Amino acid sequence: MSGASERPLRADAARNRARLLDVATEVFTTRGVGVPTEEIARSAGVGVGTLFRHFPTKEALLEAVMVRRLEDIAARTERLAADAAPGEAFTACFRLVVELSVGKNEFARALAAAGVDVHASLRGPTEQIQTRLAELLAGAQRTGTVRPDLGLAEFIALLAGTGRALEQLGPEPEPRERIFQVVFDGLRPR
Amino acid sequence: MSGASERPLRADAARNRARLLDVATEVFTTRGVGVPTEEIARSAGVGVGTLFRHFPTKEALLEAVMVRRLEDIAARTERLAADAAPGEAFTACFRLVVELSVGKNEFARALAAAGVDVHASLRGPTEQIQTRLAELLAGAQRTGTVRPDLGLAEFIALLAGTGRALEQLGPEPEPRERIFQVVFDGLRPR
Amino acid sequence: MSGASERPLRADAARNRARLLDVATEVFTTRGVGVPTEEIARSAGVGVGTLFRHFPTKEALLEAVMVRRLEDIAARTERLAADAAPGEAFTACFRLVVELSVGKNEFARALAAAGVDVHASLRGPTEQIQTRLAELLAGAQRTGTVRPDLGLAEFIALLAGTGRALEQLGPEPEPRERIFQVVFDGLRPR
Amino acid sequence: MSGASERPLRADAARNRARLLDVATEVFTTRGVGVPTEEIARSAGVGVGTLFRHFPTKEALLEAVMVRRLEDIAARTERLAADAAPGEAFTACFRLVVELSVGKNEFARALAAAGVDVHASLRGPTEQIQTRLAELLAGAQRTGTVRPDLGLAEFIALLAGTGRALEQLGPEPEPRERIFQVVFDGLRPR
DNA sequence: AATGAATGAGCATTCATTCAT
DNA sequence: CATGAATGAATGCTCATTCAT
């Protein structure tokens, strides 16, 4: 499920790694990827050396943050899809993915800028999510909840776009809800 | 209605300034704001000194790029709104603003990170656009083209979100068009 | 009486810091404050990064150099004043301060140009020295070694001036000594 | 429109040159030699190009400022020496040279840092002044106003030092006068 | 001749990464 | 293993000087 078989990792090392990931997630999301590694290390209560022992590169840290996020999304999506009727599942997952994606774009781009096969470790969770989303979409289209002409790519684009729209809004729930209403209405078969 | 009385600016200086803006727009949009000033200058065929003569700060360059974009959007929106019936005008402007906004977010954020009254020069065009959008929205709601419960803030958020969705997609027109269809359908009164 | 509780500072870090201060003192004194930081770092056998780790700003380095000088002067003055009779003490301290002040003006000015509360860290040692000098002056005036109409400000101005006179001269001792004779003679009560 | 002569142009150029020298003197004295050439030009009401037409180098401008100062000192010294009795002349010239030297050190050093035979154009006026000072010193020593063991070099060093002492002081006349008293008393034979 | 735009070497400073402690 | 000092390439910006207008 999660990782495969790395060294058992001593208890404190594991704790450090987790703390670093937490802090990095928070910091990258709220202040962007430009924050110095040293500051991330300090916020996590460790030295830079420790950070670089766990993540050989800043980019690797970025990647690890994304992987964890994607895995989280994948797991939750899975669970949700298992627990709900197809129509319900679609909107529930849509909301879930959107909410969890907010702030992701910022460093998805940073990762992409690094070039080649960075995606290596992202590919797994990404495909997992996409597969799940494809199933959801197909189910929703079969049951007539979603217009049949919508492809997977557009579905995903809409997820990203909806997330972006929410970022633009403040924290009050009504406007956010209205965005969802517009999108869900628009998704219904004519 | 744009600017009033800047320096006359020698012919070659004006050309350099324009080239710098063009190059910066292109480069910031495609590769992000991290691109070195020196490279922008070189791409524009001038020395760094020239860049800094025209824009005293990298941030000032960023700002100038945004201002030009916003002014362009404002002008085009104005023209479009004048030439079309309210219903038509709404969708036409929506499409226009979305297409012209693609890639803008990236450095809007960079600018925002700079702090205080950066917005000074952006405020004018921004308010102009918002006013126009507010009128468009009101008109479309009056003629029954758009659901009446949608506020200006949500409208703008949807513009941003739709732009983001398009960024996610490739250049083929059909998927892009489908995004617009979903949003426009969703915007219609129940 | 010097510092109280700075970080323990690792052995090599302390050595680097000291070397940087030594080199900077030498270089600022002989070649002025315009010398590039990079060169100072290289002369001290460290990278620029190390220099900036110890002194976050070139100006901070300047300040640290001055502080060390002033503290040195303060300490030596103190010792001298404790070990000598009032009359002796005055001339001895005068000579001492003058000799140690040579070359100081150059970057005192550079520091002053930086603005507001630069003096923060200089104020302590400066006031210490001034207090000591005030006592010396008072003592010498009480014992009739120095004309009673001389204020502290003029005393200090004379110290600076005598230092400047010595700078003008070569290293041969006789002319330098004659400068002292003129000043000391001039300082005696009519 | 010209026709007859190049005189008007020369007058113009001469005025520019004079203005530049005035502004440069003021600016170098009060704010140091680090002030950008462009600012000097602007303050003088001309473009940078004009500045560099008159003075091919910033250093050349510095030199010209110094030359003018030295020539002024030389001329005034000459006049003073001719108009006064030897004893009077000495102190009068001493005061004069000191007052006119204030602020000179700052860029004398900058010039010296440039290296080679920069002094070329300074040598003339410098020697002129030194000759005059030598005569003054000799006269004062002959008439018993000044201790006979003082050499020319020490005399000059004292001039520089006294200037430095005055720089340290504020503008109130009494403390400044006291400095002169100390020096003059010190200069008297035993 | 005057102007000021253009140039680019030079400088202070930052930050990802390495390595001695 | 953790630490944080050291490193140095890279970046934004300045300013003396040149050159087209």
Phi and psi at residue B85, to the nearest 5°: -70, 150
Chain A residues 30-59 within 7 Å (CB) of strand E: 34, 36-38, 48-49, 52, 56-59
Alpha carbon distance C167, C102 (integer Å):
7
What's the burial of A62, exposed, middle or buried (CB within 10 Å: 0-12/13-18/19+)?
buried
- Inter-chain residue contact B157 with A165, CB threshold 8 Å: yes
User: Is the per-residue pLDDT at D186 higher than 60?
Assistant: yes
Mean pLDDT of D133-153: 92
Is some CB atom of chain C closer than 8 A to the CB atom of D144? no
User: Is the per-residue pLDDT at D11 higher than 90?
Assistant: no
Domain C7-56 and domain C58-187 have a common topology: no
Q: What is the CATH number of domain C7-56?
A: 1.10.10.60
Is some CB atom of chain C closer than 8 A to the CB atom of D158? yes
Element (H, E) at C117: none
Match 């404002």 to its residue by tokens. B74
Considering chain A, what is the average pLDDT of its residues? 86
Is some CB atom of chain B closer than 8 A to the CB atom of A103? no
Which residues in B lie closer than 8 A to residue A170 (C-beta atoms)? 153
Q: How far is the CA of B56 from the C1' of F15 (A)?
A: 14
Q: Which of A87-95's residues contact partners 24+ apart within 8 Å by CB, and which partners?
A: A87/A140, A87/A143, A87/A145, A89/A136, A89/A139, A89/A140, A90/A136, A90/A137, A90/A139, A90/A140, A90/A145, A90/A146, A91/A145, A91/A184, A93/A132, A93/A133, A93/A136, A94/A159, A94/A162, A94/A180, A94/A183, A94/A184, A95/A180
Predicted confidence at residue C7, as pLDDT, reads 57
Tell me the CATH architecture of domain A59-187. Orthogonal Bundle (1.10)
Chain B residues 72-131 within 7 Å (CB) of strand E: none
Predicted confidence at residue C49, as pLDDT, reads 96
Predicted confidence at residue C27, as pLDDT, reads 94
Chosen CATH of C58-187 out of 2.60.260.20, 1.10.357.10, 3.60.21.10, 3.40.50.880: 1.10.357.10
Kindly state the tokens that stand for D183. 């020096």
Mean pLDDT of B77-84: 84
Predicted confidence at residue D116, as pLDDT, reads 44
Q: Is the CB of C47 under 7 A from strand F?
A: yes
Predicted confidence at residue A40, as pLDDT, reads 96
Q: Which of D98, D182, D187 is nearest to C149 (CA)?
A: D182
Evaluate whether B96 touches B76 at the Cβ level (below 8 Å): yes
> Distance (Å) from the C-alpha of residue C76 to the closest C-alpha of chain D?
23
Alpha carbon distance D67, B166 (integer Å):
70
How confident is residue D7, by pLDDT bands cut at 50, 70 and 90?
Answer: very low
User: Is the per-residue pLDDT at D149 higher than 60?
Assistant: yes
Predicted confidence at residue B123, as pLDDT, reads 82
C63 Cβ contact partners less than 8 Å away, ≥ 6 residues apart: C111, C118, C121, C122
Evaluate whether A187 touches A177 at the Cβ level (below 8 Å): no
Chain C residues 89-148 within 7 Å (CB) of strand E: none
**For chain D, which residues make up each domain, given as ranges?**
1-56, 57-187
Q: Among positive and negative, which fits the CA dihedral B70, B113, A167, B153?
A: negative
Is some CB atom of chain A closer than 8 A to the CB atom of B163? yes
Element (H, E) at B33: none
Mean pLDDT of C98-109: 74
- Inter-chain residue contact B32 with A157, CB threshold 8 Å: no
Element (H, E) at A151: none
Is some CB atom of chain A closer than 8 A to the CB atom of B125? no
User: Is the per-residue pLDDT at A25 higher than 90?
Assistant: yes
> Would you give the distance in Å from CA B131 to the centre of its chain?
15
Is some CB atom of chain A closer than 8 A to the CB atom of B114? no
- Inter-chain residue contact A158 with B182, CB threshold 8 Å: yes
C-D Cβ pairs (cutoff 8 Å, strict): 113
**Percent of chain B predicted with pLDDT > 70:** 86
Q: How far apart are the first and last CA of chain A?
A: 40
Helix runs in chain A, H state only: 11-31, 37-43, 48-54, 58-83, 86-101, 104-113, 120-142, 152-168, 173-187
Q: How far is the CA of C47 from the C1' of E8 (A)?
A: 25
- Inter-chain residue contact A169 with B153, CB threshold 8 Å: yes
Evaluate whether B164 touches B105 at the Cβ level (below 8 Å): yes
Evaluate whether B72 touches B100 at the Cβ level (below 8 Å): yes
Which residues in C lie closer than 8 A to residue D179 (C-beta atoms)? 154, 157-158, 161
Which residues in C lie closer than 8 A to residue D166 (C-beta atoms)? 157, 161
Collapsing DSSP to helix, strand or coil, A134 comes out as helix
Q: How far is the CA of D27 from the C1' of F13 (A)?
A: 23
Q: Is the CB of A113 under 7 A from strand F?
A: no
User: Is the per-residue pLDDT at B155 higher than 90?
Assistant: yes
Nucleotides of E under 7 A from a protein CB: 1-21
Predicted confidence at residue A8, as pLDDT, reads 63
pTM of the model: 0.86
Evaluate whether C181 touches D187 at the Cβ level (below 8 Å): no
Q: What is the pLDDT of residues A113-136, one digit of tens each?
A: 655 455 677 888 888 888 888 988
Is some CB atom of chain C closer than 8 A to the CB atom of D168? yes
> Distance (Å) from the C-alpha of residue D6 to the closest C-alpha of chain C?
43
Specify the CATH superfamily of domain A1-56.
Homeodomain-like (1.10.10.60)
Kindly state the tokens that stand for D34. 């680090």
Which residues in B lie closer than 8 A to residue A113 (C-beta atoms)? 31-32
Predicted confidence at residue A2, as pLDDT, reads 46
Q: Which of D113, D168, D188 sits opposite C160 (nearest CB)?
A: D168
Alpha carbon distance C141, C152 (integer Å):
11
Mean pLDDT of D170-189: 95
Where is average pLDDT lowest: B154-163, D97-106, D136-145, D177-186?
A: D97-106
Chosen CATH of D57-187 out of 3.30.70.980, 1.10.230.10, 1.10.357.10, 3.90.1150.10: 1.10.357.10
Where is average pLDDT lowest: B94-103, B112-121, C72-81?
A: B112-121
Percentages helix, strand, coil for chain C (3-state, rounded to 5) are: 75, 0, 25
Chain D residues 42-71 within 7 Å (CB) of strand E: 45-50, 52-53
Evaluate whether A75 touches A97 at the Cβ level (below 8 Å): no
- Inter-chain residue contact B161 with A156, CB threshold 8 Å: no
Find, in chain D, the residue whose alpha carbon is nearest to that of C103.
D109
Q: How far is the CA of D21 from the C1' of F11 (A)?
A: 37
Is some CB atom of chain C closer than 8 A to the CB atom of D162? yes
D73 Cβ contact partners less than 8 Å away, ≥ 6 residues apart: D96, D97, D100, D101, D125, D129
Percentages helix, strand, coil for chain B (3-state, rounded to 5) are: 75, 0, 25
Q: What is the pLDDT of residues A139-149, one digit of tens each?
A: 899 999 999 99
Is some CB atom of chain B closer than 8 A to the CB atom of A161? yes
Tell me the CATH architecture of domain B65-187. Orthogonal Bundle (1.10)
**Percent of chain A predicted with pLDDT > 70:** 86
User: Is the per-residue pLDDT at D107 higher than 90?
Assistant: no
Which residues in B lie closer than 8 A to residue A166 (C-beta atoms)? 157, 161
Subunits in contact with chain B (3 or more CB pairs closer than 8 Å): A
> Distance (Å) from the C-alpha of residue B50 to the closest C-alpha of chain A?
27
Chain A residues 4-43 within 7 Å (CB) of strand F: 7, 9-10, 12-13, 16
Q: Which of A109, A149, A157 sits opposite B165 (nearest CB)?
A: A157
Considering chain B, what is the average pLDDT of its residues? 86
Predicted confidence at residue D64, as pLDDT, reads 93
Q: How far is the CA of A46 from the C1' of F3 (A)?
A: 8
